[in-house]
Chain A
Amino acid sequence: MSSREAEARGLVADLFRRESGRLIALLASRVGVARIDMVEDAVQDALVSAMRNWSMNVVPNNPTAWLYTAARNALTDRLRRARFEIPTEFTQEQAADPDNAFSTEAAFDDELLRLIAFCCHPSLTPASQLALTLRLACGLSVDEIAHALLTTPQSMNQRIVRAKRDLREAQVTFDIAPRELVQERLPRILNAIYLLFDAGYLSPRHPQWFRPLLCEDALRLVRMLAAHPLTAEPETHALAALLHLTAARAPARVDAEGHPVPLAKQDRLRWNREVIDAGMEYFSQSIRGDAVTRYHIEAAIAVTHASASSLETTDWAQIVRHYDQLCELFPSPIATLNRVIALRYARGAQEALRALRASDELHAVQDRMVYHATVAELHEALEEHDQAAAEFSAAADLAESDTLAELFRRRAKAAKQT
């Protein structure tokens, strides 16, 4: 291959981010997770070195193997400089041909899985589990995580440093019994992935309300878990189904101006069929067995939406039944609010508004943008324009993203003029 061709070939999108997580996982499993800081530094060394080298030269034929060798060498240097003992298997591997010593895809997923299980250790809060997963397994920098989760780099850094210190003091290692992994860690891992997807899919407080990169990370992780024999549980498939069916709508949910398009107004021809098919397949895998998790019910709702060619032909009665079950088994204000929206289509806006007013639970979300936006939609459907305008204005005031605020202000104005 000529140098020009290799240059044109470039790199697979997100290669650095993906490899960062996998290299940290692989090296930490070799030298012990107590050295995780040194491993992170060595992986950063390798990435910096690759950046300098590949910027001036061509990208090597096997970039992944190149990075692995560079990271392993950097780690050996750092261990030696710190006068730490270098594990013999590590030095023996040095002598081998780098391409052959390079682990297979499947082995890598094993290490990555153990790294994620480590990040989701039960001694950490869900917020710390998510932050650590993003840092170690997803290759986001502290600044990027702070940006994604709406906090300052300083406090995010503190959170991550503290989480790592807690795990070190508790002497948590990568060794975990399969049973413990599935029963104790998996629910936490799935929750972290759910939060990650959620942060990317719609963040009312973020300047960018939709961040596909975070959603793609969540999809990648859940796909890996669904394919891994240890974690291919029904609830993993249910989450995979939910996230795929939701992500499939992405092309239809942003308009030409970058504003969100509500489900009711989406052009369903633009939904990604391939991703829907994948979601449907995951869903059929998820209903083997008796488990009914939150993800199962939410996925069932997404399946009902994905099966309908239009808003009018959607089986809203079925969706209301799913929300009834969700509210009963896993009550939350957001579930109740979504049930209200489904009620509007199943039985009319009047009934939906009645249900909304009758719910005590919804008092807790009266200061949220989504609450006021929902109420506004209901008033609009009932042609109560003044109330709709007031509620849209309230939603605009609570939206911290300029895009969303502008959208609601526009709708308030339109309602007033009607």
Chain B
Amino acid sequence: MAEYLVLLHEDPVRTRNLSPTEMQALIQRYHEWIGGLRAQGLVTVGKKLKDEGGRHLRGDKGKMVVSDGPYAEGKDVISGLFVLTADSYEQAQALLAPGPHLEFGWIELREIDVIP
């Protein structure tokens, strides 16, 4: 068994154009999807990130330079993350495929490296 980091990227412009009815229906679908994975014990950490885009920290001649992350108006923001347990990339992909997220954004899937 391996663990995978699942990063939910989304295009804020696409989500903004949803109607209230569509948004409420989406909540239901996310719950069924992630709730289903959780019920099987496959999700260990599940977090939603704040909408403000966060901060970017960079070094410049030994000093830390802080800038704002992409605004909500940006094209691509990470809106949530969770850690998924699966045998392989293929199995992880199969578990993620039924979710609604790909209709509104894309998913970055990374295997968490474990030092033996």
Which A residues between 31 and 73 are near B, CB-CB below 8 angstroms? 44, 47-57, 59
B16 and A44 contacting across the interface, CB-CB below 8 Å: yes
Residue of A nearest to B12 (CB): A48
Assess whether A234 is interfacial by the CB under 8 Å rule. Answer: no
Total number of residue pairs linking A and B with CB closer than 8 Å: 78
A11 and B48 contacting across the interface, CB-CB below 8 Å: no
A51 and B23 contacting across the interface, CB-CB below 8 Å: yes
Q: Tell me, in angstroms, the Cα distance from A57 to B46 when the chains sit together.
A: 8
Binds B, one of A12-20, A290-298, A365-373: A12-20
Q: Tell me, in angstroms, the Cα distance from A55 to B27 when the chains sit together.
A: 5
Q: Please encode chain B, from 20 to 35, with 1 for each CB lying within 8 Å of some chain A CB and 0 for all others.
A: 1111101110110011
B31 and A7 contacting across the interface, CB-CB below 8 Å: yes
Assess whether A141 is interfacial by the CB under 8 Å rule. Answer: yes
A47 and B23 contacting across the interface, CB-CB below 8 Å: yes
Assess whether B47 is interfacial by the CB under 8 Å rule. Answer: yes
Which of B15, B22, B80 contacts A56, CB < 8 Å?
B80
Interface of A: prevailing SS:
helix
Given A16-B21, A48-B15, A48-B16 in contact, is the A54-B35 Cβ separation under 8 Å? Answer: no
B24 and A16 contacting across the interface, CB-CB below 8 Å: yes
A17 and B48 contacting across the interface, CB-CB below 8 Å: no
Assess whether A143 is interfacial by the CB under 8 Å rule. Answer: yes
A52 and B24 contacting across the interface, CB-CB below 8 Å: no
B-chain residues with CB within 8 Å of residue A279 when the two chains form the complex: none
Q: Tell me, in angstroms, the Cα distance from A407 to B28 when the chains sit together.
A: 35
A-chain residues with CB within 8 Å of residue B12 when the two chains form the complex: 48
A53 and B19 contacting across the interface, CB-CB below 8 Å: no
Q: Tell me, in angstroms, the Cα distance from A59 to B48 when the chains sit together.
A: 13
B27 and A11 contacting across the interface, CB-CB below 8 Å: yes
A141 and B24 contacting across the interface, CB-CB below 8 Å: no
A48 and B23 contacting across the interface, CB-CB below 8 Å: yes
A47 and B20 contacting across the interface, CB-CB below 8 Å: yes
B47 and A51 contacting across the interface, CB-CB below 8 Å: no
Which A residues between 142 and 201 are near B, CB-CB below 8 angstroms? 143-144
Given A7-B31, A48-B15 in contact, is the A16-B20 Cβ separation under 8 Å? Answer: yes
Q: Tell me, in angstroms, the Cα distance from A267 to B22 when the chains sit together.
A: 34
A20 and B28 contacting across the interface, CB-CB below 8 Å: no
Q: Please encode chain B, from 31 to 43, with 1 for each CB lying within 8 Å of some chain A CB and 0 for all others.
A: 1001100000000
Min C-beta distance of A137 to chain B, whole Å: 12
B-chain residues with CB within 8 Å of residue A59 when the two chains form the complex: 27
Given A7-B35, A10-B31, A14-B24 in contact, is the A52-B79 Cβ separation under 8 Å? Answer: yes
Given A15-B24, A16-B20 in contact, is the A53-B48 Cβ separation under 8 Å? Answer: yes
Assess whether A139 is interfacial by the CB under 8 Å rule. Answer: yes
Assess whether A404 is interfacial by the CB under 8 Å rule. Answer: no
Q: Tell me, in angstroms, the Cα distance from A14 to B34 when the chains sit together.
A: 22
B21 and A52 contacting across the interface, CB-CB below 8 Å: no
Number of chain A interface residues as a range: 20 to 34
A54 and B19 contacting across the interface, CB-CB below 8 Å: no
Assess whether B51 is interfacial by the CB under 8 Å rule. Answer: yes
Q: Tell me, in angstroms, the Cα distance from A92 to B94 when the chains sit together.
A: 51
B-chain residues with CB within 8 Å of residue A54 when the two chains form the complex: 27
B19 and A52 contacting across the interface, CB-CB below 8 Å: no
Q: Tell me, in angstroms, the Cα distance from A17 to B30 when the chains sit together.
A: 19
Q: Tell me, in angstroms, the Cα distance from A258 to B24 when the chains sit together.
A: 26
Q: Tell me, in angstroms, the Cα distance from A55 to B8 when the chains sit together.
A: 12
A141 and B19 contacting across the interface, CB-CB below 8 Å: yes
Q: Tell me, in angstroms, the Cα distance from A44 to B34 when the chains sit together.
A: 24
Q: Please encode chain B, from 54 to 82, with 1 for each CB lying within 8 Å of some chain A CB and 0 for all others.
A: 00000000000000000000000001101
B30 and A56 contacting across the interface, CB-CB below 8 Å: yes
Which A residues between 59 and 92 are near B, CB-CB below 8 angstroms? 59
Assess whether A140 is interfacial by the CB under 8 Å rule. Answer: yes
Which of A19, A50, A140 contacts B19, CB < 8 Å?
A140
B23 and A16 contacting across the interface, CB-CB below 8 Å: yes
Q: Tell me, in angstroms, the Cα distance from A255 to B28 when the chains sit together.
A: 29
B20 and A56 contacting across the interface, CB-CB below 8 Å: no
Interface centre among A16, A20, A49 (most CB of B within 10 A): A16
Interface residues of A (CB under 8 A from B): 7, 10-11, 14-17, 19-20, 44, 47-57, 59, 139-141, 143-144, 213
Interface residues of B (CB under 8 A from A): 12, 15-24, 26-28, 30-31, 34-35, 46-48, 51, 79-80, 82
CB pairs A–B below 8 angstroms (13 shown): A48-B16, A50-B27, A51-B15, A51-B23, A55-B31, A55-B34, A56-B30, A56-B79, A59-B27, A139-B19, A139-B20, A141-B21, A144-B19
Of all A-B residue pairs in the complex, the 8 with the closest CB atoms, nearest first, are A141-B19, A56-B48, A55-B30, A16-B20, A16-B24, A51-B23, A20-B20, A139-B20
